[in-house]
Amino acid sequence: MREIDNEDELSRTFGALADPTRRAILAQLAKGEQTVNELAKPFLISLQAISKHLKVLERAGLITRGREAQWRPSRLEVAPLEDATDWIERYREIWRDRFDRLEQEIKRLQAEEADQEGDHRNG
Amino acid sequence: MREIDNEDELSRTFGALADPTRRAILAQLAKGEQTVNELAKPFLISLQAISKHLKVLERAGLITRGREAQWRPSRLEVAPLEDATDWIERYREIWRDRFDRLEQEIKRLQAEEADQEGDHRNG
């Protein structure tokens, strides 16, 4: 039996990425630091809504924010994303291994079948 | 101005991954098809809770389920995960490019400074 922590870092990272506005904000920040006002410009939503999204990103460790109360420029942090891709990649690897094994099993069965057909012809 | 679709596929994928039980279910399914009962075994939660998680995964396209009402084995689908890693990788690439440019700028400034020091010595 496994007990599960519902507020782990990986869940916070994936949760933060589960929103197109937040992903667009991260894409913006990949080009450099920006203030809330700069970040809000391309969107049809309020500054308050952008601030909420920034809080979610900050809690997930995907951004850090400057200290100056008025500007508080946001800067992206890439480490949580690395953990996220690591998780997906590990899982895709298990899946690929499984398919490799299935493929080998199919080849083995095909070889056996070919052998048996040979036996029938020779016998 | 950008209008944003709040129920896009990528958001559903990341949303489905934002839960440790669902990630554990996917890791199980990477080893092969399983029924709800088999999937529920390692967890301290009810079959109903597992069924709810499977619905979220199914809606995100991360699993498909068999037709037989009683068994309905779940099987994982890897395509949405590829889209998810593609998104993260694209974004990390912008970030890397930015740091490469910063590094070049720093080298350029250091070279300039070295030149000026040389000038001072020679002049």
Q: Cβ(A59)–Cβ(A12) under 8 Å?
A: yes
The question of ipTM being above 0.85 is answered as no
Minimal Cα–Cα distance from A92 to chain B, Å?
A: 7
Average pLDDT, chain A: 85
Please tell me the distance from the alpha carbon of residue A41 to that of residue A36, in angstroms, as a whole number. 9
DSSP state letters, B19-65? SHHHHHHHHHHTTS-B-HHHHHTTBSS-HHHHHHHHHHHHHTTSEEE
Asked if A19 contacts B11 with a C-beta cutoff of 8 angstroms, the reply is yes
CA distance to partner chain B, nearest, from residue A23 (Å): 9
The DSSP bridge pattern shows strands A74-76 and B74-76 to be unpaired
pLDDT digits (tens, 9 = 90+) for B10-24: 999 999 999 999 999
What is the residue whose two structure tokens read 């399983």?
A: B34
Given a cut of 90, is residue A50 above it in pLDDT?
A: yes
Report the alpha-carbon distance of residue B20 to residue A10 in Å, rounded. Answer: 8
Residue A25 — very low, low, confident or very high, per pLDDT cuts 50/70/90? very high
> In this model, does residue B5 exceed pLDDT 70?
no
**pTM of the full structure:** 0.77
How far apart, in whole angstroms, are the C-alpha atoms of residue B6 and residue B84?
16
Q: Looking at the complex, does the CB of residue A92 fall below 8 Å from at least one CB of chain B?
A: yes
Task: Name the β-bridge partners of A2.
Answer: B43
